[in-house]
Structures are given as structure tokens and as C-alpha cells.
Structure 1
């Protein structure tokens, strides 16, 4: 592997380019019309135009990405996260073209990308799963399955991801209509209308485990992250390690993630996600890619997870087979959204962008003052990651970093994060915490 096509944009594209350079590889940026003057394109060794600004014409266009790799002389493709990262057909085409796909094998992406199949694989591996049903074949099947699963429940798309394709159902009277809507939505969004039922575990924590696996039989974890601060199942704040998690429960969850990864023949970096309620935990899904929140795991283990991805893709063993946990870290997703307007996206020119600094402070971004936050893509401006010897120190550094951060020209979630950090100091929260907080604030 000598030359890597970075098939993504924004902060993750820049992150991948830097990792390639540090590992001695050349990096090629693949860009859309909206991103032609971006920072990551400028810092790459070469750049190839994909197509128009809409993702369907560029970053989601598998033909264009493969052509870009061919014409640039790349011998490997790193998809980052989102876009084509968990597209099994794309990973298979990369391999068929004689290129290295920096991620898991296509057959593993296929198995774990289908939530119903992933549930079955987890059960086979002896990993607890949320009570649920098989894929539904019709309205009658939904009613029978719902009686067995119990209300409240969730209708979930088998091919869903990123919190999408999920609809709650409170009672039997709503079931048929919600299932029909969910099928149509899943078919339109994912090209697959298959849905299944899963019990809604209320006020649970979202805990996920970072796993790494190579071609030499090594499968390990880099501990867990708490991703419970969410808005409409989209993560806003992540922490590592999960606060207040009993050591025995931590060991059980991380061991289950490693066991499942080994069972499915996993390779490269991935994340196994769980719901935790009291001292019980349940598998919900596996993300077969690097995660947005991977920096908090890097901060508390000292690992470079993207460098590990590159090592694995080259056939080398993991640099570490048992990570050590040091301190605590928190990541804040700073999005170009207006919390006062129900988090409406706020694209536009980033007229001022002053970044914080100091011990334990890291900012991952692909933007600088004067850049445009495009309406065509995800609204994230930057990730602010802060490490401390203790959780209290990490949160304190995050508050100071937010006080130094200056964003002008677009609305952002920075102010909301400043409010939330003080409340998070009280301890762990659940996945509905932010929504309940917003309702309480609106009513007060």
C-alpha cells in the first residue's frame, strides 16, 4: 500500500490525510464541487474531482470514487465514516478492482449492517440482545410479534444506521400505521423496506465499545464510550470511559464486544453498541467503520486508531493487543445548527473561527475562518476533545475551551454545550435526558 484515496470530506478527511502522511503513505483527496477549495484538498498530495455538490453526485457515487482511485494511481481507499463507509457492495467492488478497502471485509459489513442478522449473530455469540422480533412479513406478523415483544416498542429498519429508520410505538392502536410508514421510509432512505420490532428500553444509557482486529488472530478493545447525550438519536457529546460504570459491568461489556467481533470474523476498527439499564446490557448494533467519536478513545488509551486501521490494511499485526486506560476524555460535536430553532441547520460563511488551546485540548476540524459551511452535507463544524487525569478535570478543560472558542457567521451548538457541561458534572445521563431537558426548559 503506497497511495490512499480519501473518499470523504471535512474533519475526517483531514484526519485521514494526516495519518497517511505520518505512516509514510501518499494521500489523494476526492472532492465535490462544493469542496474544491477546502483545506483537506489543499493538504493532500493529489486531488481528484468526483462530481457535483450533492452527495449522490460525488461522495455517494461509487463509480466516481472508483474512477478517482484508478486515475489517481491509488492502491487503497479509506471511506472514513458515513457516505460509502458501510456499503458492502462498494467494499466488494473495491476488492474486485484489486484495491485495498481500509475497513472490514464486505461480507462482514453485509452481515452486521443488517440489524436483524446482527442480532442473530450476537445471540449466537452469547451476547445479550434487546427482546425483539424477526423481520416482519406483514401486518398480521407485526401484531403477533408485538404481543410477544410488548409495548412500548420500536419499529426499526434492518438496513438503518446513524439513528435513522427508527419509530416508536406506544400501543397496539398505532402499530399498523407506524409499521407501514416505517417500511416506506426505510425503502426510500436505504433501498430496503425490511423492518422488525424491538422493545423500547426507556431511560437507558448508550454505551459502545471500540474494537480492533487484525489478520493475525488478534481481537481487542480500546474500552468503552458513553454516547447517551443525544438529540433524535443523534449523538452530541461522548465520553470515555463511561462515567459511573461498575468495573465488573465494564469488563462484561468489553468482553462481549470482543467475543462478537471474533465470532463474525471482524477485521479493522469497529464499534459494538449496547443499551445499559441498571446492571444489564443489551446489544443493539455494530458500526463497521471508524466512528465520529473515536478521538475520546484515543485520548484515554494513547492509541492512534486510524494508524491502526492502516497497519491492519497492510497486513501488519496490531501495535497493542491490550490497551491501558488513563484519565478521562469528553468530545463535543460543534454543529452549525440553531438550538433555539429546533436545531435547524445554519449553513453559511464562517466569518470568525478562533480555536481554543491548552493542556489536554484537541480540536478536529476541516475548516478555517472564511470557509463555507455547505448546505449539502452534515452540519458539523468541529469536534472539541478534552482530556484530563480525572473526569472533573476533563469537563473543566472543556468548559474553558468553550469559553475560548469563537464562532461567527453561522449559528452553532457551542452555547448549548456550555450549558450542558455543568449539568453533566452531576453524573451519568440516559438517552432521553436531553429531550426531557429541552421540554422542561420550554415549559419553565
Structure 2
């Protein structure tokens, strides 16, 4: 961002000047990318700011000092706290007092909470307001109405908003069952606890129970136990399952966010455990805390769409939507804009391409978006929205249901900023206006000027916008803490990278500063954002940004390759593809299946087989030609086999365009030399002046490839052909170009088919050259054949733009096995159980619960053994075989940070575990390679 201090005061318009925010002095109490973004925005506005800094962001781990500090020259604007929020309700209350104290002592006018920690905490906002400070976000009244999921659903129904079927008052139902269900019994309980309830609540038992519960919360008095809540959840689950056969039930804490505080159950017996996990993850297990949660029908095969809103308490405006369906464990991975303008453009494109059914579906999706935006604005007006918030929906087919309102700015808000800006116009002079392109800036304007702000118009900036979340994750998308970023290439043209300041180099030396991903808070490293003039261009730009990004370090794992694969996958099926929220797991299973196939390949052995074939078919000259291509072929194919995510996406995008499988043979529709060059490009090994030899094609290999491409260019020029141009044109359709295949068929003819263009001697030379340049394409066909064998190329799309998943990838057992190929468990001996990942080790469900295992205890397959907390996600790990615990190696170590592969338990398995030796592995891989190569060399 180009920083222009106080752009409002620099305006020539007195009306625009009146909206200056230079008097704001904001305490930023969040962390991550939004903190750095807010700092930049406030500087541009000429506003002052300070930040909180936790121990985990400063002194607890090496090389984790908050990188934003490099931007702050005045240390008095950095306020150190133990943690941003605290673990317990008591610590949270103390932290609120501390924040308010810091704000008052240092003259801050407002507090900005971004999208983390207490950003949606109504009590936090209320206490800020009561202290005479401003909160840069929705007012406490909005939080209490719209932020609490149970209250929000009641208001939504009254406003005519479509809501998900289910129960939103489980706590009240628990209290009613406990007391007998009458108002008189509830009043008796209130009297016994010295609680006074507003008598205007009437005679309805459910309403009175809600009022009594909230009075208890306010006075620190608990009225129902966790055990009672768990039992009631089981009773209600029984009823919901019997009334709605075939559905699962989602439990969702009323104050949860970011996918946390949610669990899905498929039978009522799971309710008690799910309640504990939901409340524990939400830090809401205290007796006097509001522990209410929703129990909703889990509408299967849904997409996650959300509408961006901004208001000032008098007006509210929607800013289009975002499709956030590509997610895992309720954590969003890719977010793409959905707007009226985008649908209009894509509908016209589908019609022009003769795809009437797709155009019809896009029209239906457009109508759904329009309804969501209308209902979102109605809901926002009903709650008096006075800042930025998001109206979240699940979409099933052409129906949608309101889930919740996130009363804060979203992680993915920049997606909206890519497509719309806000134009505020002087009501007395329509020529006098200013434009706001930042939602954080819009929040600051509302906080500073509130109802003076006229209702803005939304201005189209770009047709499409998208964001991918670059996270510290392994290939199975499991959080991976402990890596160190040692180098990171700067953003390329068109890339917006919100990286928390990690990319800021040492101001004195210009050297990148190493950053340790401790995983103390979450797995996010950066948000990568780009725009486009249609969805395809948007996806291609994001893909190219990730392709050119070079991020390296020690023990560093990110999901960059996953994003490259999934973006290419979507481009291969359709840019407007509509995966549902469950799609990522079967997709990962497919990539895991591909990984298994690739692991079985021995490229050196395959090259040896091909060399023998070349010697037999073409003699010594043929063998010499092939050996000259050894590094050209093997370097890129080794890179491809070691990166199944990128390869999977590339295969899907090139299927039916560059190649097809016909009678178990790979048929080329694009020159394999062009395919080879494309592989070098997608794996970022193309020739570049700034790259070291290990990170680019070697010069002699580049010269050889250029020579081969020049031969075909000259030949096609002589014949009046353009194979590559025809291939490019075919990408807009569903069928491959026949031009290259026709050229190959003619080059294989017994007699010269081009007697008018060349002599027989020249034709014979062209034939020989063609055979020489195509020699080695069999190895490219090998990895393509592995793709077909894996099933990754069996995905398709229906006319509703929904991906059709091969059945085997939906099987839970297959998924579990396939994901282990993406993230292989650490090597261990047959008598040892080791930590599957690094993180914080726990031996039991809760501090009061007994350990999962003890010395001498027998465990069965599927029994829980331990929990690893990684980046605020609690991952329970289960036994993969049966046996007896003989020794506990981490006894009494709950809360201890362990490393991946660290021994936890010694065990005696019930059955002998056989571990494959290296020689057995080599023999297996060579046999598999031989089988595949034989099918190619027939």
C-alpha cells in the first residue's frame, strides 16, 4: 500500500475534509495479517495507533518476535501482555480490564479487535463502551443480537430470513427439564439463588428460562451442570434423528468462529462427547458461563457462501458475496468472489460457447445470490448494524439457509475489496464525493463519523477477486508447527500478500529475517490475494503467483502446493466449479492415491528399460539420442513425482486437451516437447536469470528442447500448420485438437504424404528427426498413466457445475489410508508408538479425566491414545493396531511440546508387525515400474 498520510485533509473539498480521521488514536488488540493491515490503513488516514504484544509473540519462542514491530518506531506504542485473551473466563475478564486500563492511560480513543480473539465478544464491547471508549466494530447491542447464534436465529426468523432447521435454546430446555418446566418452578429456583428476573418476561416457560439463565450469567451464578447439558443434548439428538432420518446433526457453540466450537454427530450416543469438545474448544466450560449451543440439521453437500455487509446504524449495504466452500475441518482455504457482475459475464460466456445448461445454472446461482444479498440487508437493518459484518449461509442446490452473522471483519475481506469500492457522495452536491477501497478504512470512518456518513454506492473495481490462505500445513493439510522461514521471494506484480510483516527485511542490511512458525495461535502465514476480469483470469493469476513464490526454510511445510493443485483442478473442470464443503477430503484422498502410485515408480529403472528399447529399435544412434535427454527428462519428472499436489492439478487440467487414454495407451494431442516445457513451467524450473542451477532447467537441456521445438516450428511452417495454436483454441471446448495427431500420423506413413512440399529424402530426414525428438515421451506418459491408475483423472462435472467424485474417494477407510501417503507417519519400531506430529501432548480428554492409557492396559484398534494440540486445533489420535502398553515414555507430561516421531509409549502388539525392508521396497517399485512401462512400450 502506498502510504499517503491523511488523504482526507489533503482534499480540496471541505465536505471530504470533514471526514478526516486524524483524531483517532486506536489500540489494536489483535494479531496476524489484520494487525499489519490496520497499521497501514491508520497511517494512511493520519490516525495514531498502538498494539498489544503477547509473550508468545515476543519472548516465549526463538525467532518469533512480531514482525510488525519493525514498523513501529515508538516503543511506548507497544503494550506487553501475557496473552491477548487468557485461557479461562477469569483471565479473559482480567485481560479486558487490562486493555481498558491501557487504553485510558495512553489516551486511546478506540479499540480495534480485527477478526481474532474477542472481536465477537459482546461483553468485551459492552465494557469498552461503558468505559467511555469507542469500539471500531459493531456495537455491543449488535453483538448481543446478531453475534450470538441463538439470538440471531430468532431475529432472522422475524425478519423473514431463511434459517437452518434445529434447536437454538438447548440451555433453556435443560433448565426446563431440570425444574419441571413451569414458570413457578423457575421462580422458585431464582429465589433460591437470590436472582431477580424481569417480570415482563411473561408466562412462557421457555422465555422465562432464557431470562433466568442470562440473569445467572450476569451474576456469575450457574443454574445447570455440564452433565445435565450433555444429557439434554442426547435426548434432543434422539428426537431429531427420529424425525429426520438420514441426517447428521451439527453442534455449534453460540459464540464460536473460524470453524472452532463445532462438531458433527451421526448418532445420539456421540452427543455427550461432542458437547464436551465444543465447549472445551470454545473455552466455555465454567459453571456460570453461557454454554448454549445450537443443534442443527447438518444439511449435507452444502456450499458455504457469505455476504459482506457494512452499515452505520441507519443504513446497511451489501457488497456481494464470497464462496468459501473449499475448506477442511471448518477452516477456509480458498475464498472467491461471487457478484452479480461476475454471474452476468459468465452467463454470457456460457451462452456464447453453446453451453445452455451451464448458462441456466449460472442464472439460478445469480438469483440465489440476489436473494441472499436482500435478506442480508434486511437482517443488518433489523439489528442496527453499525460497522462491518458478514451474513453467512449454507447453500444446497438452489436453496440457502442463514447460519450466523459474524460481527467482525472477516479474514477474507480483501476478496470483496478486489471487486467493489464504496463511493460516499455529498447529499448537497453529487459532484462532491470520495471513494473508499478498504473495509478497515470504512470501519474507521463509521467509528469516527457514524451517522454523518451518507449511504454509499458500490462501485465495480474488478469482476473477480480471490484469496488463498498460505498456512503451515503438511500435504494432508494437517497443521505443521516448528518450521523456520529462511527465505521468501517478494510479492510479484498483481499480488497482494498480507504476511503479518514477515517479508519485511532488515532495514539496515536488506536481508530477510528468519521467522519461526511456533504455532502458538494458528497455522496461517499469509493471505495471498489477486483480482481478474473474469473467474478464469482470477484463478490463473493466483496460480501464477503461487508458482513463482519461493518460500524455503528448515522443517518448513506449507499448503502452497495444495493451492496450486486445487486451482489447476478447478481450471481443468470449469472456473465456476461449485465444490461443496466436504469436497477437500475426497480430493485429498485422490491426491493421496496418486502419491501411492508415484511412490511405486522407479524413474531410473524406467529410463533403463526405455534405453534398452531404443537400442533395439534405433540402434546405437537411438541410444545416444535418448541418453542426451536423460537430465532433461529425469530432473523434471523427479520433481513431478515428489510433488503430487501440483502434478494432480496439472494432470486434470491437461486431461482431454494434451492427452487422452485410449485402449490403455496414452495418445498425445499436444507435442510432448510442449508438454515437457509446460511441466518445467508449472514446477517453476523454467530458465530464469536470477535462479541458481538447482532451481531451473540446465542450459544444455534448454538448448536441446529449443532445438526440438524449432524443428517442429519449421516443419509446421513448411506445411502451413499451427499445432500449438490449434491446441490453444481447443482449450475453450471439451474436445482435443486433432492437428498434432494428424501430423504424427502423416510422419509415420510409409510414403511421403507431402510430395508437393518436400522431397522424399527430406521426408525421411523429418521422420528420423521426429522419432528422435519424441524419444523419451514414454517417460512423461509413465506419470500420466500413474495418474489414470490412481483415479485422480476420474473426476468430472455435471451441468450444475458440481464436481462428481469417484465413489472410492468417498469411502472413509480409503480416505484414511490415502491421506497417510500424503503425510506418512513417522518411522518407528514395531514396539513403539510415536507422535504423529509435533505439538502439545495431552494424555487425557480433560484435566479431570483419567488418562487414555496406563501401563498394562490393553487397547484395541480405534481406541484413543493421546491428543496433540497444534495451532489451537486439538487432534485426537487413535490406535491403528491392538496391543498392551508396557511403558509410558511421557508420563505426567501433559502440556509438553513433543516433536514428530518422538516415542510416547512402548507396546506389545497383539500380532507381529512386519516392516518393509529397503530391498523389498526397491524390488516392489521396480516390478511396478516394469508393469507400467510394458503397457506403454507395447
User: TM over 0.5, yes or no?
Assistant: yes
Preserved CA contact (<8 Å) 1:227 1:237? yes
Alignment partner, residue 56 of structure 1: 86
The alignment status of 1:5 with 2:5, answered yes or no, reads: no
Greater share of residues in strand? 1
The Cα offsets for residues 367-393 of structure 1, whole Å up to 9 and x where unpaired, read as 124123232111211111010111111
1:424 pairs, out of 557, 566, 570, with: 570
Alignment partner, residue 382 of structure 1: 526
The alignment status of 1:95 with 2:241, answered yes or no, reads: no
Preserved CA contact (<8 Å) 2:312 2:386? yes
The alignment status of 1:218 with 2:368, answered yes or no, reads: no
Structure 1 residue 55 displacement after superposition: 5.3
Runs of 4+ with deviation above 6 angstroms: none
Distance 2:241 2:261 in 1: 18
Alignment partner, residue 231 of structure 1: 328
Alignment partner, residue 338 of structure 2: 241
Alignment of 1:139-218 (within 5 A): 139-150=234-245, 151-170=247-266, 174-175=267-268, 177-190=269-282, 191=284, 192-215=290-313, 217-218=314-315
Preserved CA contact (<8 Å) 1:210 1:223? yes
Alignment partner, residue 667 of structure 2: none
Structure 1 residue 318 displacement after superposition: 4.7
Counterpart secondary structure, 1:35: coil
Distance 1:35 1:71 in 2: 23
Alignment of 1:340-419 (within 5 A): 340=476, 342-358=477-493, 360-366=494-500, 367-368=502-503, 369=512, 370-409=514-553, 410-419=556-565
Alignment partner, residue 348 of structure 2: none
RMSD: 2.2
Distance 2:121 2:439 in 1: 21
Distance 2:455 2:549 in 1: 35
Alignment of 1:108-127 (within 5 A): 108-127=142-161
Alignment partner, residue 71 of structure 2: 43
Preserved CA contact (<8 Å) 1:210 1:272? yes
Distance 1:332 1:319 in 2: 33
Distance 1:149 1:47, change over 3 A: farther
Preserved CA contact (<8 Å) 1:41 1:47? no
Structure 1 residue 398 displacement after superposition: 0.8
Distance 2:165 2:372 in 1: 18
Alignment partner, residue 15 of structure 1: 37
Distance 1:434 1:49 in 2: 40
Distance 2:547 2:410 in 1: 27
The Cα offsets for residues 71-123 of structure 1, whole Å up to 9 and x where unpaired, read as 33211100011111011111111111111001111122122232222111111
Alignment partner, residue 47 of structure 2: 25
The alignment status of 1:307 with 2:441, answered yes or no, reads: yes
The Cα offsets for residues 388-442 of structure 1, whole Å up to 9 and x where unpaired, read as 1111111111111011211112211111111110112221211111112112333
The Cα offsets for residues 270-297 of structure 1, whole Å up to 9 and x where unpaired, read as 0000111121111011100000000010
TM-score normalised by structure 2 residue count: 0.45
Counterpart secondary structure, 1:272: strand
Alignment partner, residue 297 of structure 1: 416
Of 187-196 and 5-14, more deviation after overlay is shown by 187-196
Preserved CA contact (<8 Å) 2:263 2:278? no
Greater share of residues in helix? 2
Preserved CA contact (<8 Å) 2:394 2:400? yes
Counterpart secondary structure, 1:289: coil
Distance 1:179 1:50 in 2: 41
Preserved CA contact (<8 Å) 1:355 1:363? no
Distance 1:347 1:267 in 2: 40
Preserved CA contact (<8 Å) 2:251 2:278? no
Structure 1 residue 24 displacement after superposition: 1.6
The Cα offsets for residues 127-163 of structure 1, whole Å up to 9 and x where unpaired, read as 1011112323314333234434552222222332221
